[in-house]
Amino acid sequence: MDDYYYDNPDTIEKSVDKAIEKQLDLEIQDQEKEIEIEKDAERVKILEDELEKKEPEVEEDPIKKELNKLKTKQYEHADKSRPYVDADIPDSVKFGEKLVIKLSRKVPNMQLSFGDGLSWERKDVYDPKAPKELILRPTVFRDIKNGKFDDDKVEIDIGEVKKVAGTEIQSWLEGDYLLKVRGYGNQYHEDTTITKTVRVHG
């Protein structure tokens, strides 16, 4: 009986078929596992991409960003086709010195704001849709109008020394100060405002 089982061709063929079928099943299972692993890796990648998109971007401080832009002069002309005046403004000045702003022409009227009291807010506080901008609360402010300026140079004494407990101290701080100088005449187009930062240091 045993000899018949092992020698019977049909029995041998069936055994081989089963072995092949089992091997194929194992290979298919391995392929399915590999496919699942690849799908899992794709899902992880998609989730990582989504998380990156959702991560809030760290925005640059708007005041610093604006001050960096204002290291070069910015102009506001009443008539862009006919700029009224330019100004030579130094990049830095020391405590105890004068900040000298040289205008390109004599102007009858002049406004000047200079300081480091800066904030980033809406100019029109009653309009919630108004864009935010750099607001200056000046340390030095001058407004010479009605033709009484009539000059091409402005000078500012830098720093203010105060006595505290008998010791003289510099009450101004070192840093970037914002300068706005406006020269204007009697006609509409005769009006230019120049804005620039000036580094004040010891």
Confidence band for 14, pLDDT divided at 50, 70 and 90: low
> What is the CATH number that goes with domain 62-201?
2.60.40.10
**What is the DSSP pairing of strand 92-94 with strand 191-201?**
parallel
Q: Two tokens at 122?
A: 């809406």
pLDDT at 46: 79
Q: Pick from 88, 85, 96, 102: which is nearest to 183 by CA?
A: 85
Q: Pick from 99, 120, 107, 96: which is nearest to 182 by CA?
A: 107
Confidence band for 10, pLDDT divided at 50, 70 and 90: low
Question: Is 164 or 96 the better-scoring residue by pLDDT?
Answer: 96
Q: 95-132 pLDDT, tens per residue?
A: 999 999 999 999 999 999 999 999 998 878 888 888 88
Is residue 34 pLDDT above 90, yes or no?
no
pLDDT at 187: 94
Stretch 138-147: mean pLDDT: 95
**What is the DSSP pairing of strand 191-201 with strand 98-107?**
unpaired
* Cβ(134)–Cβ(178) below 8 Å: yes
Is residue 31 pLDDT above 90, yes or no?
no
pTM: 0.68
pLDDT at 15: 67
